[in-house]
Amino acid sequence: MRIFCYICLIEPILLNMKRIFAVLTACLLAVAAYAQTAEEIIAKMEEVMGQVGEENGFRMTMDIKIPILGTMSTKAWSLGDKMRMEAAALGKKFITWQDGVTEWTYDYEGNTLTIENQDTSKKSEEKENMELFQNATEGYDVSIAKENANSWTIKCKKNRSNTNKDDPKNMEIVVAKGTYQPLSLSAKVDMVTVTMRDLAFNVTEKDVTFNQADYAGATVIDKRK
């Protein structure tokens, strides 16, 4: 999966956030009420996805652990074509916003604000990826690995029909009973481990809209053509 590449890591993570959300939502649907087996749980998937609705937006925290380099933590908010991401890695901290046309990146260390055109070709790829993961049963065998009084642990195992070499072999999600909210999702490809947690919905326009007045003292680097 492209999000696991550390070279130019920040941009691929941003561009694949909706793909990640789709996978997370699909696994979330594997814990609908009253289902007894993995097959029955998956059957309720479309109904729950409709209730969540992408139009409500989502936010989450994502931790990317890379040997030697350590862990990069990212907080992301997404609503429609807009997205805001706050990331910290290798002692640096920055915020990125996108609105489908323009991208703004604020670097805390240098107090600089870089403005550039958003790559719209990558935006179409996001939609493609999201469609690919609308259903967790496409290319994955899903089962309940374990459960306790508070949560279920759902395992998604890549099957032989899935020939996409970029997809992780295994994913695991922990979901709270009662609310059916995901507590965490983790996946590992090669040496890199990604954990997504603290998912919530109902993102507002203010959460994802860039306001340049908030960075009036920053040095502006305008790369737009």
Share of the chain above pLDDT 90, in %: 20
How many other CB atoms are found less than 10 A from the CB of residue 36? 8
The count of domains in the chain is: 1
Query: In 10 A of CB 117, how many CB atoms?
Result: 11
Residue range of the domain that includes 100:
2-222
Average pLDDT, the chain: 75
Confidence of residue 191 (pLDDT cuts 50, 70, 90): confident
**What CATH number is associated with residue 97?**
2.50.20.10
Q: How large is the average pLDDT for residues 124-138?
A: 45
Among 46-50, 105-109, 152-156, which is the least confidently predicted range?
A: 46-50
**pLDDT band at 70, cuts 50/70/90?**
confident
Q: Write down the pTM of the prediction.
A: 0.71
Most confidently modeled range among 43-57, 80-94, 107-121: 107-121
Selection from 46, 106, 82, 71 nearest residue 207 by Cα: 82
Q: Report the b/e string of 47-65 with b at 16+ CB within 10 A.
A: ebbeeeebeebbbbbbebb
Highest mean pLDDT pick, 35-49, 95-109, 114-128, 133-147: 95-109
Q: What are the strands of the beta sheet with 112-117, ordered from one edge?
A: 140-147, 151-158, 170-176, 182-189, 192-201, 58-66, 70-79, 82-89, 92-98, 102-107, 112-117, 219-222
For the ranges 29-33, 153-157, 174-178, which has the lowest average pLDDT? 29-33
